[in-house]
């Protein structure tokens, strides 16, 4: 393999941001020269290249200015493309970034439709029964109903606070806690949650091409 030619395939557990960073470390000139391209094959394997030879490759969008990986970014951003179409459709309906919705799902349930938390939150976006009822979600264990309700609730929190991190904190700890502390509550679980979602959000930008 020539010095200026790099192809890499990343298995699901090592894909996403980590795979991209690994490629940059192997050949930092790649990004400067011709950019990076990726595609996900039918086995869920993510392929990266700076010299695409397959028409399935698509250019990777540059990370938006101001978005940087935190020093504590997880080395295992969850990889799952099974809900991407649903996420894209539902996020667009609520004027949300699909990468953000996917990040919340990953942090909340790790893409498990049947997930139930220790406090009773349910489904992909971990809706509490009372919240689900208020949102008109008839079956929180159905992906379509759960993601529809979860994205509408996330939209409400964003409209309420006008700040992404506060909205995420409210999604996790409830708006009363955010109001009480006038910001992200000093709960270790909520602080870690907001940071994790933000890291996943940055990692999932490449999953949704515009």
Residue boundaries of the structural domains of the chain: 7-59, 84-205
Question: What's this model's pTM, rounded to 2 decimal places?
Answer: 0.66
The SS3 of residue 47 is strand
Q: Give the closest residue to 48 by CA, choosing from 56, 39, 62.
A: 39
Spatial distance between the Cα atoms of 90 and 16, rounded to a whole number of angstroms:
22
The SS3 of residue 20 is helix
pLDDT > 90 fraction of the chain, expressed in percent and rounded: 61
Spatial distance between the Cα atoms of 135 and 122, rounded to a whole number of angstroms:
14
Question: How do residues 49-91 score in pLDDT, each as one tens digit?
Answer: 667 676 676 766 443 333 343 434 444 799 999 999 999 999 9
The class of domain 84-205 in CATH terms is: mainly alpha
Residue 106 or residue 29, greater confidence? 106
pLDDT reported for residue 35: 62
Burial class (CB in 10 A: 0-12, 13-18, 19+), 107: buried
Q: Averaged over 20-47, what is the pLDDT?
A: 50
**Out of 9, 108, 113, 144, which one is annotated catalytic?**
108
The SS3 of residue 86 is helix
Residues written for the chain: 210
List the structure tokens of 94.
């609520």
Q: Averaged over 163-187, what is the pLDDT?
A: 97
Is the per-residue pLDDT at 9 higher than 90?
no
pLDDT reported for residue 19: 42
Spatial distance between the Cα atoms of 207 and 210, rounded to a whole number of angstroms:
10
Question: How do residues 123-173 score in pLDDT, each as one tens digit?
Answer: 999 999 999 999 999 999 999 999 999 999 999 999 999 999 999 999 999
pLDDT reported for residue 60: 60
**Strand locations in the chain (E):** 7-10, 37-40, 46-49, 58-59
pLDDT reported for residue 47: 62
CB 102 within 8 A of CB 110: no
Is the per-residue pLDDT at 11 higher than 80?
no
The SS3 of residue 1 is coil
pLDDT reported for residue 180: 97
The SS3 of residue 109 is helix
The SS3 of residue 10 is strand
pLDDT reported for residue 147: 98
Spatial distance between the Cα atoms of 45 and 51, rounded to a whole number of angstroms:
18
Spatial distance between the Cα atoms of 19 and 26, rounded to a whole number of angstroms:
11
CB 183 within 8 A of CB 163: no
List the structure tokens of 48.
């990266």
Spatial distance between the Cα atoms of 155 and 144, rounded to a whole number of angstroms:
16
Q: Please say if 113 is a catalytic residue.
A: no
């Amino acid at each position: 393999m020539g010095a200026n030619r790099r192809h890499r395939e990343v298995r699901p557990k090592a894909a996403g941001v980590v795979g991209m960073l690994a490629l940059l470390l192997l050949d930092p000139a790649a990004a400067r020269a011709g950019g990076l391209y990726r595609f996900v094959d039918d086995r869920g394997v993510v392929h990266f290249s700076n010299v695409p030879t397959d028409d399935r490759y698509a250019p990777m969008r540059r990370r938006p200015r101001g978005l940087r990986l935190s020093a504590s970014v997880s080395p295992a951003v969850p990889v799952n493309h099974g809900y991407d179409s649903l996420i894209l459709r539902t996020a667009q309906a609520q004027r949300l970034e699909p990468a953000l919705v996917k990040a919340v799902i990953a942090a909340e349930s790790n893409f498990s439709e049947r997930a139930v938390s220790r406090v009773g939150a349910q489904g992909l976006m971990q809706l509490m029964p009372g919240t689900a009822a208020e949102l008109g979600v008839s079956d929180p264990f159905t992906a379509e109903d759960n993601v529809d309700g979860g994205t509408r609730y996330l939209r409400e929190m964003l409209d309420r606070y006008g700040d992404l991190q506060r909205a995420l904190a409210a999604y996790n700890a409830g708006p009363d806690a955010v109001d009480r502390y006038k910001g992200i509550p000093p709960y270790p679980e909520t602080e870690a949650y907001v940071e994790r979602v933000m890291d996943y959000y940055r990692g999932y930008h490449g999953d949704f091409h515009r």
